[in-house]
Structure 1
Amino acid sequence: MRYLPTHSKHDLLIGCCVSAFAFSAPSPAQDLKLGKWLPESMQVHGFLSQGFIHTSDNHFFGHSDDSLSTDFRELGVNGSWSVLPDLQLAMQVVWRDAGQTDEAGLRIDYGLANYNVLSTESSLLAIRAGRVLTPLGFYNETRDVAATRPSILLPQSIYFDRNRDLAISADGGYLYGEHRTDFGDFSFNFGLVIPRTDGPDFMNTVLRGDKGEVGGDTSWVARLGYESPGSRVRFAVTYADVLSDFNSSSHPRNQGSFHFNPLILSAQYNAEKWSLTAEYALRRTRLDYLNAHDVAFTGQSYYIQGAYHFTDKLEGFVRYDELVWDLDDQYGYRYPPQLGPSFSRYARDWTFGLRYEILPSLMLSTEYHHVNGTGWLSRLENPQDETRNWDMYAFMLSYHF
């Protein structure tokens, strides 16, 4: 199995909204002989994954310290329907459990309409509206299905799992364009959206442990992309302006607005048996309090990952992933102790992983992390007594149809 480009062709535009469609598995409507009741242009797919996580110290997705946590599972069903040649509808419903960061519950990951304003052999201009997958970096649009991720856990410095719902999709509209040339494919995405801010970990972080409300405000996201012929080389630049308001019900001084501005640079090279991927993010965060001093800092994230395909069914990877929350205080020496230890302001992660395709629709993945720092751990699961140097072992069995 190879790593899948996330935005190279028009078919994959809709495939991003129906992630399992990236595989050539037949539609269950065909498998179950339901075609006579469903339109021929309708696709239905799904996925199921169960993860097992053990950590030497700290907790990740459940009580994983010195025990085996099974609180990491994902179940989803998605479908798409070409109502008209230029109008497609797509939706995905997910049930997910990821410890205290995502306590089991049903939600709509995306539900949208895609209309092709212009479609020729070389160019495409489309409008998407509804709850739309957010175009951040290379992997955000396909992170929902385990089989479409390059690893069990995406690089946490850029693709935070503790704030998955905030990142994966938002409500609003996008303008998408693509132009295919002999030199490669060029694409752009621009959207005005309202972010989803009801994730327990995000609310806990913004409200600093208080009870209250967090609501999304008008935000925007833009991405430019390039892909060479044959998908050998890929580049992307992403920028977003994410806004939300918060109001603590117990502390009047803890109310205001949250501003987040990530700039992500992405690059990938794909050879016949190996690939090299790197992404870099500069993240500006600002909290504007109505009755207190504002807080602002700029952080940095990056990773570099090499993958090798030993056989058609077995592949491995190695990755170095680094997160710094504040470039002016990279080791957290000036971070207030009452808010957390100094090493909660960074994380440096070496990861080694393997994945094996047992069947075309069934995959087993395993990976090992050696981490210095706790910068991407959830404070809900680790309220105190964090350990700076720790190891994590993860296993996942995933099925898709």
Structure 2
Amino acid sequence: MYSRFASAAPGIALFGACLLWAQPVLCLDLLGGDFQVHGFASLTLVNTSDNNFFGHSDDRISNNFSEVGLNASWRVTPELQVAAEVLSRRAGGTDDGGARLDYGLADWSPLSSEEGRGGVRVGRIKTAYGLYNKTRDVPFTRPSIILPQSIYFERTRNLTVSADGGEIYVERYGEGGILSASFAYGQPQTDSDAAKVALVGLNRPGSLDSGLAPDFQLLYEGAGGTYRLAFTATRLDLHYKPGFGDLLRSGRFELTPLIFSAQYNAECWSLTSEYALRRSSVSNFGPFFYNGTADGRSYYLQGTYRLAPQWEALLRYDAYYADWGDRDGQRFAAATRQPAFSRFARDWTAGLRFDVTPQFMLRVEAHWVDGTGFLAVQDNPNSQSLRRYWDNYMLQASYRF
């Protein structure tokens, strides 16, 4: 593993040198700071002992995970702000690097005072989903190279990252902290093959559509952000329309995750945990598909420690079960002849972050995984070749301005 990453080191070094050369350009501020432009870029190398993650990484180096984003915001009036981000993301077989609008919205807050504020957002809005979803697009805002896969799946990222619709929000400021609530109603992004493949498999000629999805979040921050507590509830209602010669019928996916989040931030360390209850229903696909209901569970416990002003260490345990009543996947395996371990994943993660400058960051991360529950079928088309126990090593360089 060391020799493989060492062979890729010159490329990482060149990438870093170019970013350091460009670091005096921090951001673009116009109109007295009311108009701002920012951006970021990251490149990640991935190596796995077995299975594939973000491209062909099994016993080789994959460079098929990169992110480039450009975002802008304009404070039109004290009450109205518009913002948008264009993102190009490569992520193995789940994302091809094409440029797309990650979010684009107008934020109007007519109610604003020292006690709080309230308003509405319309457009392609970021989905409130746990603690990290609204900022997961920028590598610097994530606690690790990849977020805990038990909560924030990479293989179905577009389904939950943003939606086309509207959001009502209110924030209340007090001596005890900040209490905020939001309710959104919008159309999830189902226009890519990634979501369809994750739900019905490869080479299906049909299409996936979604009804309007509600999303509610209640968030409390106390003691100046020392602790944060949140509750998130959403519902996805996805419909599959068969194509010509399709073996599947007009099926329906219903998913209702409830997420409980807690975080404590001390001077040098942070402790974060999230727990999700996932009620799912798969129906009307016919005899050639696995129909049924499941009560999934997923959770993680994560600690970070600031070793020095520029160094941070991370340790996390992350667990995902597609069906709590069939945690070992044996009933699923008997019904489908698919590997039982594809219904769960337990991941120990250790990582290290080094902020070379405020604009340039390096990260290294190791995962020791039992199960394949969060792997993308695009990168692993032959389920019979999957291995239950596998390791994942990642090296990332990121820049922002």
- TM-score, structure 2 length as denominator? 0.89
User: What SS does the aligned partner of 1:328 have?
Assistant: helix
- Match for 1:317 among 282, 294, 314? 314
Task: Name the CA distance, whole Å, in 1 between partners of 2:337 and 2:215.
Answer: 31
Task: Map residues 148-187 of structure 1 onto 2, 5 A cutoff.
Answer: 148-187=141-180
The equivalent residue for 1:231 is 225
Task: Name the CA distance, whole Å, in 2 between partners of 1:251 and 1:90.
Answer: 41
- Match for 2:51 among 54, 58, 71? 58
Answering whether residue 77 of structure 2 is matched by residue 84 of structure 1, we say: yes
For these two proteins, the number of residue pairs brought into alignment is 371
Q: Deviations over 1:68-90 (max 9, x none)?
A: 00000000000000111100000
The equivalent residue for 2:251 is 256
Q: Deviations over 1:277-298 (max 9, x none)?
A: 0000011111231656952111
The equivalent residue for 1:342 is 340
What is the deviation of 1:27? 5.7
The equivalent residue for 2:207 is 213
More deviation, 47-56/212-221: 212-221
The equivalent residue for 1:352 is 350
Answering whether residue 270 of structure 2 is matched by residue 272 of structure 1, we say: no
Structure 2 contact 51–387 (Cα < 8 Å) conserved: yes
Task: Name the CA distance, whole Å, in 1 between partners of 2:296 and 2:285.
Answer: 24
Compute the RMSD of aligned alpha carbons: 1.6
Structure 2 contact 130–230 (Cα < 8 Å) conserved: yes
| Structure 1 stretches lacking a partner, 5+ long | 1-24
Structure 1 contact 166–199 (Cα < 8 Å) conserved: no
The equivalent residue for 2:391 is 391
Task: Name the CA distance, whole Å, in 1 between partners of 2:106 and 2:338.
Answer: 44
The equivalent residue for 2:400 is 400
Task: Name the CA distance, whole Å, in 1 between partners of 2:134 and 2:192.
Answer: 18
The equivalent residue for 1:4 is none
What is the deviation of 1:104? 1.7
The equivalent residue for 1:10 is none
Task: Name the CA distance, whole Å, in 2 between partners of 1:377 and 1:45.
Answer: 32
User: What SS does the aligned partner of 1:378 have?
Assistant: coil
Counterpart amino acid of residue 299 in structure 2: Y
The equivalent residue for 1:111 is 104
Counterpart amino acid of residue 181 in structure 2: F
Task: Map residues 61-76 of structure 1 onto 2, 5 A cutoff.
Answer: 61-76=54-69
Task: Name the CA distance, whole Å, in 2 between partners of 1:363 and 1:205.
Answer: 32
Task: Name the CA distance, whole Å, in 2 between partners of 1:110 and 1:325.
Answer: 29
Q: Alignment identity in percent? A: 43
Task: Name the CA distance, whole Å, in 1 between partners of 2:323 and 2:248.
Answer: 24
Structure 1 contact 185–229 (Cα < 8 Å) conserved: no
The equivalent residue for 1:329 is 326
What is the deviation of 1:243? 1.4
What is the deviation of 1:197? 1.5
Structure 1 contact 201–379 (Cα < 8 Å) conserved: no
Structure 1 contact 316–354 (Cα < 8 Å) conserved: yes
- TM-score, structure 1 length as denominator? 0.89
| Structure 2 stretches lacking a partner, 5+ long | 1-23
What is the deviation of 1:215? 1.1
Task: Name the CA distance, whole Å, in 2 between partners of 1:26 and 1:136.
Answer: 32
Q: Deviations over 1:316-343 (max 9, x none)?
A: 0100000000011100001146462000
What is the deviation of 1:158? 0.3
